[in-house]
Amino acid sequence: MIMKEIKREKRQKPLIVIASNRGPFSFQQEENGSFTVRRGSGGLVTALGSLAERYQVLWVAAAMSDEDRRWAQSNEEKIQHVEGIYLRLIQPDPDAYELYYNQIANPLLWFIQHQLWDIPRSPTINAETWQAWRDGYAAVNRQFAETIADSVKHTDHPVIVFPQDYHLYLVSGYLRQMLGDRVQIQPFLHIPWPGPDAWRILPKGMRDAMLYSLLGSDRIGFQTQRDAFNFVQTCRFYLPDAHSLGSRNSINYAGRKIEAKAYPISVDVEQLESLVEEPEVRLLRSQVLNNTGDRKLILRVDRVEPSKNILRSLVAYRALLENHPEHHDRVQMLALLVPSRMEVYEYQNYLREIMAEAGMINAEFSDELWEPVRVVVGENYHRAVAALQLYDVLMVNPLADGMNLVAKEGVLVNQRDGVLLLSEDAGAFYELGEHALIVPPFDIYSTMEAIHEALNMSEDERHRRAEALRELVRRSGVRRWFQHQVEDAMQALR
């Protein structure tokens, strides 16, 4: 019924299918049984907002909570129209989902792609890993593909499917088997794609399945050229029948040409520029200001995540206070940390180490008026945006990061001509690096020197750099990011 509706409506327009682990909405059930919808904050939701007027959009995602599941079960129709988007939630078997999410995607793939393994000790691939791969990762990916195939089977529109990120590497292959060439398949990977060496950790059976599946796509979107290039090299290195004929940006496989292309993600410029005017953000801004006083603010905003390299920035800050006592009582470091994967031992432990290091810095350097570093753990996006307006130095020093949106948000909303300290291993480096101070993520000495340089930078230079950065972000934007991907897929449909 709903598919017939999709069919009648906007007849000539392509149907865009987004597939992602987490969907754009969450549901809450009220006492009277009805559901209220809460819109997620991800960039893709925003990007689609404007596209939904021009295209039909179907979003397939996994139900995240019992209420999401109840919402999905309460509807006779499998696909519902919610805020301009058609939505279909899959309900994986909880055991399969656990294996897919907590055994393969988050520990194994995330750790390989951010190169976080301490390889003399881990990982150990054992029978459980293989079972998690088959009964978890592959099974849930197949369920996504089956759901997409079922949702589009009656439409005569051109269909473009955009599977998102490392949770769904096997969707392209399954979909190609199920639907043949009648769909365009174009995954986008939000996280880094490392070179061939990093992938030796993944056993050949899993690696081949993942790479061959991705080669079932028409083109694959990455954050940077570097990721796209690494993907091409990985395929050439491991797959004897994948070639790169006269191009660094595509693979020829099974008579088809699969493009690897960079689409750097960005932020919602309009939304952020209006958010900073909201009363709640203003209030939080004055709280941050009260706390910092007239000291210079060195800020970082991250999930508690080892790849963000929070600990080394604290160590570098300690080195600054040791080597440059002129900054005592003139600076404050503020780390706004969003809890993430707190059930995982490595993440808990990482947070403990951060708190201990911050505590030691305060123990050593504070006086009755000055608290050298504050670490605030909790979720508050408005507070993050408020603080980003006030930094003198923004510390973005990840070991590996697909893009890092904090860097882009920061330079857009900052009001103090603050200086961006940016790791050369953040995707954002390729767009913003020219006007930032570059910090090599492992090098604490250079990081300390960069903080010192930023704190001493002339107003003119700060202004020049900050203006250039702001303009770069203003000219991009998340709508354009997605529009480029849609245009490329449309081009191929013609």
Cβ proximity to ligand GDG, 108 vs 301, nearer residue: 301
Distance CA 79, CA 72 (A): 9
Cα angle, residue 141 at apex, residues 93 and 37 outer, rounded to 5°: 65
Whether residue 163 contacts residue 172, with contact meaning beta carbons closer than 8 Å, is answered with yes
Q: How far is the CB of 400 from ligand GDG (least distance, A)?
A: 9
Residue 394 sits in the site that holds ligand GDG (CB under 6 A): no
Distance CA 114, CA 306 (A): 9
Cβ proximity to ligand GDG, 79 vs 385, nearer residue: 385
Total residues contacting ligand GDG by CB under 6 A comes to 18
Distance CA 316, CA 11 (A): 58
Cβ proximity to ligand GDG, 113 vs 143, nearer residue: 113
Site for ligand GDG in 463-482 (CB under 6 A): none
Which helix (H) or strand (E) segment holds residue 491: the answer is: helix 478-493
Residue 284 sits in the site that holds ligand GDG (CB under 6 A): no
Q: How far is the CB of 164 from ligand GDG (least distance, A)?
A: 9
Q: How far is the CB of 75 from ligand GDG (least distance, A)?
A: 27
- Tell me if residue 438 falls in helix, strand or coil: strand
| Residue of 28, 36, 41, 274 that binds ligand GDG (CB under 6 A) | 41
| Strand 219-222 relative to strand 296-303, pairing | unpaired
Cα-based distances in Å from 39 to 43, 96, 384: 11, 26, 19
Residue 320 sits in the site that holds ligand GDG (CB under 6 A): no
Q: How far is the CB of 125 from ligand GDG (least distance, A)?
A: 24
Residue 487 sits in the site that holds ligand GDG (CB under 6 A): no
- Tell me if residue 117 falls in helix, strand or coil: coil
Structure tokens at 109: 């793939």
Structure tokens at 35: 């559901």
| Residue of 6, 148, 403, 420 that binds ligand GDG (CB under 6 A) | 403
From the list 126-134, 271-279, 380-388, 485-493, the region that binds ligand GDG by CB under 6 A is 380-388
Phi, psi of 185 (to 5 degrees): -120, 125
Cβ proximity to ligand GDG, 106 vs 244, nearer residue: 106
Distance CA 213, CA 235 (A): 11
Residue 167 sits in the site that holds ligand GDG (CB under 6 A): no
Residue 484 sits in the site that holds ligand GDG (CB under 6 A): no
Residue 327 sits in the site that holds ligand GDG (CB under 6 A): no
Per DSSP, 62 falls in state E
| Residue of 271, 380, 446, 483 that binds ligand GDG (CB under 6 A) | 380
Structure tokens at 293: 């006083």
Instruction: Please list the residues that pair with 257 across neighbouring strands.
Output: 252
From the list 214-222, 311-319, 396-404, 484-492, the region that binds ligand GDG by CB under 6 A is 396-404
Residue 409 sits in the site that holds ligand GDG (CB under 6 A): yes
Residue 22 sits in the site that holds ligand GDG (CB under 6 A): no
Alpha helices, DSSP H only, in 75-138?
A: 94-98, 110-113, 127-131
Residue 381 sits in the site that holds ligand GDG (CB under 6 A): yes
Residue 109 sits in the site that holds ligand GDG (CB under 6 A): no
Cβ proximity to ligand GDG, 229 vs 381, nearer residue: 381
Q: Look up residue 68 and give its amino acid.
A: D
Structure tokens at 390: 């006030």
| Residue of 16, 79, 170, 191 that binds ligand GDG (CB under 6 A) | 191
144, 147, 131: which is closest to 95 by C-alpha? Answer: 131
| Residue of 260, 301, 331, 411 that binds ligand GDG (CB under 6 A) | 301
Query: What string of H, E and C letters represents the secondary structure of 26-46?
Result: EEEECCCCCEEEEECCCHHHH
| Residue of 63, 109, 258, 406 that binds ligand GDG (CB under 6 A) | 406
Considering only CA atoms, give the Rg of the chain. Answer: 23
From the list 25-33, 61-69, 404-412, 441-449, the region that binds ligand GDG by CB under 6 A is 404-412
| Residue of 303, 324, 416, 470 that binds ligand GDG (CB under 6 A) | 303
Q: How far is the CB of 264 from ligand GDG (least distance, A)?
A: 9
Structure tokens at 396: 């973005």
Name the residue with tokens 């970082």: 300
Residues making contact with ligand GDG (CB under 6 A): 41, 190-191, 265, 301, 303, 338, 379-381, 384, 401-406, 409
